[in-house]
Amino acid sequence: MPHIINIQTFKESRGILTVLDSIVPFEIKRLFYIYSVDDSDRGGHRHHQTHQAAICIQGSCKITNNNSKVTELFHLDSPEKCLILLPEDWHVMHDFSADAILLVLASTAFDPKDYIYEPYDTI
């Protein structure tokens, strides 16, 4: 099941430090970020192997997730929230704020053969 984990954050007068060292439950092999999104949806796929962690480091966005049993909506609106996505999670990122930057950490290097573009029947 996808789930939100709270990221350890240290706030002080000099600024805010957020640490991702051991909170992500997989070895990070790739990272990418999405920004300057118009009204388009992003994602719209699931994976054979790749686990992902999504963090909206600025602004906000929503991620609709379906794992063939349950559809859930997650609102990422803080760099202190991390959404963990499993390979079987069909996910669509949408409703990006104008200033949104979505950072995604992945457990595998990019491989187009890992992507599944067919949603579950329940979507």
The confidence score (pLDDT) of residue 121 equals 74
- Number of structural domains (the chain) is 1
CB 65 within 8 A of CB 52: no
In a domain, 22, yes or no: yes
Q: Is residue 55 within 8 Å of 109, Cβ to Cβ?
A: no
Q: Residue 123's pLDDT band (boundaries 50, 70, 90)?
A: very low
Is-catalytic flag, 45? yes
Residue 88 domain-assigned (yes or no): yes
pLDDT of residue 1: 86
The answer as to whether 14 is a domain residue is yes
Each residue's pLDDT tens digit, 27-73: 999 999 999 999 999 999 999 999 999 999 999 999 999 999 999 99
Model pLDDT, residue 36? 97
Instruction: Find, among 97, 62, 55, the residue nearest to 80 by Cα.
Output: 55
The answer to whether position 122 is within a domain reads no
Mean pLDDT score, 4-25? 93
Query: Whole domain around residue 10: which residue ranges?
Result: 3-116
What confidence score (pLDDT) does residue 55 get?
98
83 in a domain, yes or no? yes
| Residues in CB range of 52: below 8 A, 6 or more apart | 84, 85, 91, 104, 105, 106, 107
**How do residues 79-108 score in pLDDT, each as one tens digit?**
999 999 999 999 999 999 999 999 999 999
**CATH classification of the domain holding 29:** 2.60.120.10
Whether residue 123 lies inside any domain: the answer is no
Domain assignment present for residue 121? The answer is: no
Residue 36 lies in a domain: yes
Selecting among 45, 47, 51, 91, the annotated active-site residue is 45
Q: What is the DSSP string of 74-123?
A: EEE--TTEEEEE-TT-EEEEE---TT-EEEEEESS---GGGEE-PPPTT-
